[in-house]
Structure 1
Amino acid sequence: MTPVEVCQGDSPIVLGMPHTGTHVPAEIAADLNGRGQGLDDTDWHIHRLYDGLLPGATTVRATFHRYVVDANRDPSGVSLYPGQNTTGLVPLTDFDGQDIWTTAPDTAATEARRSAFHAPYHSALLAELKRVRDLHGVAILYDCHSIRSRIPFLFDGTLPDFNIGTNLGATCDPQIERAVQQICSDAEGYSSTTNGRFKGGWTTRRYGRPETGVHAIQMELAQSTYLTDEAAPWSYDAIKAARLRPHLGNILNTLAELALTLGGKS
């Protein structure tokens, strides 16, 4: 299986999906314990949730699981959230702080995974951002994520439904952040926050360079908004998703319109 799937489009929007993959090579799966083999920390069904919301959007999707190597972590191993509980480039625990390996990867294994999986994903993502920027004069990376709404190891209480991350406004034009905030705050029955517990992962922070014409924003959705239960078997709830998808579509279409203004090209 290839480590990354790319679907090219002609829109100024690129959807990044680093955590929807569930592929774990057999030799790596053999080293996971029973808890790790459950793959609980997947961004379950995110590619299905966003499918078809913006015709022409480019999608870059990792097929490998984040336990193999996390495509949204700094390859140097530097923490995104110093002083807070989080997981690393190759997670040693799950989001509940529980061990996931019978035999944890050593430094050499981690580097091999970075080279075989993490690097190809980001090479593909960078190539698509450059291609789209060349077409439109601007590219907007919308990084798609989801997570359980209650994870005491990572954050207190219940997570809002929409969690917008722009690294405190550094990764995109202010118009982009404001537009997404407005749509989320206007979404009846949903809660939202900006740059709360999730300020944008390594992907958003690395590629979001507004001065170069590449903007990035992360959306971390509470999985309660579209899953039947936030537990195995992690079933997609078509009724919940049908209620949520119009808001996500509104976000993507609004960003596509904004991009044309920011890029100065039609």
Structure 2
Amino acid sequence: MTAFEVTRGDSPIILGLPHTGTDVPPDIRGRLNGNGLKLADTDWHIHRLYDGLLPDATSVRALFHRYVIDANRDPAGGSLYPGQNTTGLVPETDFDGQPIWNPGAAPDSAEITDRIARFHAPYHAALNAEIERVRAQHGIAIVYDCHSIRSHIPFLFEDTLPDFNIGTNGTTSCDPRVEQAVVDVVRAAPGYSSIVNGRFKGGWTTRHYGRPEAGIHAIQMELAQSTHLATELPPFDYAPQHAEQLRGHLKDILERLSALATTIKH
């Protein structure tokens, strides 16, 4: 099973797509319970949502599902949000806190180590290679990590999630101008809500790669799925009209970041 796919471009922008994959090897799929088999915590249609918005952007997309292993979690197992409900490197529950594995079928530490080698490490080796290629070409690389999540998940957060959730780990993973460029677009988008470093401050990808002093800037965009899905429940259908409206703002973000990159080279 192929762990990832890469589309190379000549822009300083790299799109990370760690959670759009739905591939689950048969030996792992057979151990998921009925709840787990729904694959409900997928970042549904995010690769379609961003497709073609910045034609010369590079993208690195994980093809495996996050229930196999989460490509946006610390391979050492550290929590992104200590003290808060979250899911781990290999989740034991879904975002509602409900089990996803058949009794006794959750992977042990040896299997998790194997999954890191088979899936997590190859994805990040590919992403790192593209970051280094782009930085060598432009003197800068901006990693824009693409995500989505249901807008209402009491197990993870109170109330309803804003539409645009920007994460820069407290403005440490990128130059402040990168963060501000994104903020300027989303705050001017009529009818949408937004927050910076709220419940989602950036996952492991953003925190691990974001080294602005070295010319690598990373930012995470977590979209509420209500912005582009017809329903946040199965079958998680894409809503073309809503999505097209959203795509206009996302295109503006990526174009602004691409233009900004020429002014903040390391």
* TM-score normalised according to structure 2 size: 0.99
How many positions carry a matched residue from both structures?
264
Alpha-carbon separation, structure 2, partners of 1:98 and 1:181 = 34
Q: CA RMSD in A?
A: 0.6
> Which string of whole-angstrom CA distances, capped at 9 and with x for unpartnered residues, describes residues 126-173 of structure 1?
000000001100000000000000000000000000000000000000
Report matched runs for 1:131-142 at 5 Å. 131-142=133-144
> 1:244 and 2:246 equivalent?
yes
The 1-side partners of 2:101 and 2:113 are apart by: 17
1:104 paired with 2:106, answer: yes
Which residue is equivalent to 1:152?
154
CA distance in 1, matches of 2:200, 2:144: 14
Q: Which residue of 2 aligns with 1:59?
A: 59
Partner in structure 1 of residue 80 of structure 2: 80
Q: Counterpart of 2:263 in 1: which secondary structure? A: helix
CA distance in structure 2 between the partners assigned to 1:87 and 1:139 by the alignment: 29
Alpha-carbon deviation of 1:190? 0.2
How far does residue 80 in structure 1 lie from its aligned partner after superposition?
0.3
Aligned-partner SS, 1:40: coil
- Cα deviation per residue 1:203-246 (whole Å; 9 max; x = unaligned)? 00000000000000000000000000100000011001011000
Residue equivalent to 2:21: 21
The aligned counterpart of 2:44 is 44
CA distance in 2, matches of 1:54, 1:104: 40
Q: Distance in 1 between matches of 2:22 and 2:66?
A: 8
- Aligned-partner residue type, residue 86 of structure 2: T
The corresponding residue for 1:207 is: 209
Q: Which consecutive aligned stretches of 4+ in structure 1 deviate over 6 angstroms post-superposition?
A: none
One-letter amino acid matched to 1:79: S
SS in 2 for 1:126: helix
SS at match of 1:52: coil
The percentage of counterpart residues that share the same residue type is: 67
Could you tell me which of 218, 223, 246 is aligned with 1:221?
223
TM (norm. structure 1) is: 0.99
Deviation at 1:260, TM superposition (A): 1.1
Q: Aligned with 2:60: secondary structure? A: strand
